[in-house]
Structure 1
Amino acid sequence: MSNRNQTDLSNFKPSVDELKKELKRENRKKEYRNVLRNTLIVVVSVAALAVLISSFYVTVLKVTGDSMTPTLETGQIVIAQNSQEFEAGEMLAFYYNNKVLVKRVIGSPGDWVNIDANGRVSVNGIELEETYASDLSLEPTDIEFPYQVPENRWFVLGDHRSVSIDSRSSVVGCVTREQLIGKVVFRVFPFDTFGSL
C-alpha cells in the first residue's frame, strides 16, 4: 500500500494554474517579510533619532499647573531647547524634586533682584515691564530683598505670581546648572496656539 501511495505521488504533476498560485503565494511571503523588515528598520531608526534629538537638542514637555498662566496653560505641550545660557524674560524648564517646572528668568548670576510690597520687580535697580505677568505679588516669599543671585544660578518667577512657588521661596530657590533642562521656545499643542514663545 505504501508503495502504491509513493507511486501515486510520484506521478502527481501540478497544473500550470497550481504552480502559478504557489509561486504567487511564495512571492507574497517574500514581499511581506521585506515590508516587515523595512518597517522595523524605519521604526527603530526613527526611535533612535528621537532619543538622540531628545537627549542632545530638545525636550518635549506637558504643562501642568497654573504658575505660568496666561502664557502657558495646563495640558499644553511645549518644546524646550537644551541650553545653558538664558536671557532675562526667557522661560526655562528645570528639574525640581523629580518634577519638571517651567518659570521665567528674572535674574542671572550676580544680578541684584528686588521685589517691592506691590510685587513690582527690579533687576540691578531697573524696574521690569512685565506684560507677561497675570498678577504682581511679593508673596509667597521667605527671602530678603534686595537679593543677589549666586554664581551659576538663575532667579526665576512664575507669570501667575500669587500662586507660583519659585525663587522667592527658599523651598525652590534659584535654579542651578545641574537642574537645567533648557529654554522653552515653542508650543506644539493645542494646534490653535502652535508657534514660538
Structure 2
Amino acid sequence: MGEKEFEKPTLEQLKKELKRENNKKEYRRVLRNTLIVVVVVAAFAVLVSSFFITVLKVTGDSMTPTLETGQIVIAQNSSSFEPGELIAFYYNNKVLVKRVLGSPGDKINIDSDGNVTVNGIALDEPYASEKSLEPTDISFPYQVPENRYFVLGDHRSASIDSRSSVVGCVTKEQLIGKVIFRVFPFDSFGTIK
C-alpha cells in the first residue's frame, strides 16, 4: 500500500488562502458594524418620535386648504398652544388635526355666517374656507373649560370639531403636539403657517 503524498501548497496558494480568510474577517466586521449602526439609528428614531416629534398622514378634508389628504406632516410634542396654531390630538382611536382658536377661559362666539370672535375680538381667518356655524349643537357664546382648547377645522362646513359635542373641546390628555412641518409631497415641503 502506497501512502498518499500530500502536495505542499505553493507560496501563491498560501497568499490566496490568507487573503480569503482576511476577507471573511473583514466582511464579518463590516456586517457587525452595519448592524450596530442600524440598531442605534432605529433606537434613536423611536426615542425621538416618542418624546419629541410624531409623523402623521393627513386624511379627510376638514383642514383644506391648509392641509390636503395624503400629505405627511410632523407634530412637535408640546403641552401649550397659542391661538391659530395647528394641533394634533387623539379622538376615538384616531388622530385629528385642527386649529386652536380658544384657550382655557376664553369666550368664543360664532355668528350665523361663521365669523368667529374670541373674547369680543373678531378673528381675521384667511386660512378658513367655507365659514359656517354648522355643524353645531352647543350654544354660543361659549366659554372654554379649564385645561381644554377650542378647535376648529379650516374647512368649516366639512369639519366636526369643538362646535359639536361629539368632539368637544380638546383636553390636555388628548394632545399630541403642534403640527409644524409638512414633509410630503415635496413640492409643499416646509413649515406650516
TM range (shorter): over 0.9
Q: Kindly indicate whether residue 107 of structure 2 is the aligned counterpart of residue 112 of structure 1.
A: yes
Superposed CA offset, 1:126-171 (max 9, x none) = 1100000011000011111111101000000000000001001111
Alignment of 1:20-99 (within 5 A): 20-99=15-94
Q: Which position in structure 2 is the counterpart of 1:100?
A: 95
Structure 2 gaps of 5+ residues are none
Q: Secondary structure at the match of 2:156?
A: coil
Shift of 1:13: 0.9
Alignment of 1:158 onto 2:153: yes
Q: Which amino acid is 2:67 matched to?
A: L
Between the two proteins, the alignment pairs up a number of residues equal to 192
Taking the aligned partners of 2:43 and 2:8, their CA distance within structure 1 comes to: 51
2-side partners of 1:159 and 1:43: how far apart?
A: 40
* TM-score of the aligned structures, taking structure 2 as reference length: 0.97
User: Which residue of 2 is the match for residue 181 of structure 1?
Assistant: 176
Distance 1:20 1:66 in 2: 68
Q: Give me the CA root mean square deviation.
A: 1.0
Tell me which of 9, 18, 29 is aligned to 1:14: 9
Which 4+ stretches in 1 moved above 6 angstroms? Answer: none
Give aligned-pair identity as a percent.
78
Alignment-mate amino acid for residue 35 of structure 1? V
TM superposition shift of 1:24: 1.3
Query: How does the TM-score come out when normalised to structure 1?
Result: 0.95
Task: Specify the structure having the higher radius of gyration (Cα).
Answer: 1
Residue 137 of structure 2 is aligned to residue 142 of structure 1 = yes
Deviation of the 1:21 alpha carbon: 1.3
Give the distance between the partners of 2:69 and 2:3, measured in 1 at CA.
79
Q: Which moved more, 1:102-111 or 1:25-34?
A: 25-34
1-side partners of 2:110 and 2:143: how far apart?
A: 12
User: What do residues 106-128 of structure 1 show as CA deviations (whole Å, max 9, x unaligned)?
Assistant: 10000011111100011111110
Cα offsets for 1:46-67 (capped at 9, x unmatched): 1111111111111111111100
Aligned mates of 1:172, 1:33 — CA distance in 2: 55
User: Partners of 2:87 and 2:121 in 1: how far apart?
Assistant: 22
Q: How far has the Cα of 1:4 moved from its partner?
A: 2.2
Q: Secondary structure at the match of 2:97?
A: strand
